[in-house]
Each structure stands twice: as C-alpha cells, then as structure tokens.
Structure 1
Amino acid sequence: MKEMNVLCAFFKAQQKDGRIGITHIALFVSLIYHWYIEGSINPLSAFSRDIMKTSKIKSHVTYFRCIKELSDYGYIIYKPSFKKTQASKIYFMEE
C-alpha cells in the first residue's frame, strides 16, 4: 500500500523535525485517510472543510497555516484552488 509507505516515511522524517507539532500530524494523517478513500490517486482533490472535520481542526487559520507549513517543509505539495466550489490539490511524495 503506497499510503502506508508515505505515512511511514512521514513519521520517520517528522521525528527529526522539531517544526512538526501534533496539529501537523493530525492533518497529515487525515490527508492520507482521504487519499486512501479516494483511491490513492495523486493528487488528492480535497476541500478544507472535509479535511478539517476529519483532523478535528476547528480554525481555518490553523488549517491553512499547517497545510502551508507541511508544503513549505517538503512533506506535501499543496495547490490551493482559492474557490469554494473547486477542491484544492494535494500531492504526496511517493517513492
């Protein structure tokens, strides 16, 4: 399962990365879950409201900060749509 490989690689890398907190971890695991549910097609097309619900993130500010940081740190590539009716794209780093 490529989802498990990506998740294991994330957990291995984040152990050495002091910038990653519990909210980043919850968000990343939620993204993996949605990726799995959607058939593991890269990129994942997702709406923030769905990811926030699964990851238990209540604040849009926190969600967007954390997803941007995961992208900036190289764990994902995040391409926001900036439209409420169009899903954003999240690319996972597959080996």
Structure 2
Amino acid sequence: METNSADQWLIYLKKVAKDPRLNVWHMTLLIALVQLAYFQNEKKLIHVSRSKLMVLSHINTLPTYHKYFKQLQDLGYIKYSPSYHPAYRSTVEFLNL
C-alpha cells in the first residue's frame, strides 16, 4: 500500500515526537518546516525564510528562533543552507527521513 504525502509527514512527526531531547520549541519549528514541505510538494529539500518560519511556528523572538533552529541542526534533523543572494531563498534539507 502506498502512502500519500500527508501520511508520510504524519509518520515523520510521530517519530520525532518520541525523541526525548526535543521540546515544544523544537516541535513547533519542525511542524512549521513540515507545513512548508507539504505546501511546496517536496519531500526532502525546501525553500525557507526566517520570517515565514517564525510566523508558522508562533515564535516571536529572534534569540528563541535561532537557538532552537540551530539545535535542530546540531541534533541532525535538518541541514540549513543559507542564501545571501536576495533573489534566492535559503534551503532546509530534512535529514534521517
């Protein structure tokens, strides 16, 4: 039986929710990233902007955003590739899917 994209992301979120190292801020960022991936119809590499992620994750302060976003990278959940060119957005790659 083949699973659709929504089912695959739900399975992913259920798996990461079992990681005791993650707190509510990690989860809200991961949910925001999964939302973007779903809407972009992507499975591994998505285009992101900090402002969009902050809105989707309901994180209102830059220090909080940066702290937990970096921790997701350090924990091996994502790989962030910043873009410093105004015409290109940064990307996030989901690791260990």
TM-score, normalized by length of structure 1? 0.79
Deviations 1:12-37 (A, max 9, x none): 2442x332100110110110101111
Aligned CA distance change for structure 1 residues 76 and 4 (closer, same or farther; 3 Å): farther
Deviations 1:48-83 (A, max 9, x none): 0001001100011111211111111111112223x3
Identity %: 26
| RMSD across aligned positions (CA) | 2.2
| Secondary structure, counterpart of 2:14 in structure 1 | helix
How many residues matched?
A: 93
Counterpart residue number, 2:49:
47
Aligned CA distance change for structure 1 residues 4 and 92 (closer, same or farther; 3 Å): farther
| Secondary structure, counterpart of 1:30 in structure 2 | helix
Counterpart residue number, 1:70:
72
Moved more, 61-70 or 27-36: 61-70
Asked which structure has the greater RCO (Cα within 8 Å, sep 6+), the reply is 1
- Please identify the structure whose Cα radius of gyration is greater: 2
Q: Please give the alpha-carbon distance, in whole angstroms, between the structure 2 residues aligned to 1:66 and 1:59.
A: 11
Q: Please give the alpha-carbon distance, in whole angstroms, between the structure 2 residues aligned to 1:2 and 1:74.
A: 22
Aligned CA distance change for structure 1 residues 54 and 13 (closer, same or farther; 3 Å): closer
| Secondary structure, counterpart of 1:44 in structure 2 | strand
1:5 aligns with 2:4: no
- Map residues 19-58 of structure 1 onto 2, 5 A cutoff: 19-40=21-42, 42-58=44-60
Q: Is the 2:78–2:94 Cα contact (8 Å) retained in structure 1?
A: yes
TM-score, normalized by length of structure 2? 0.77
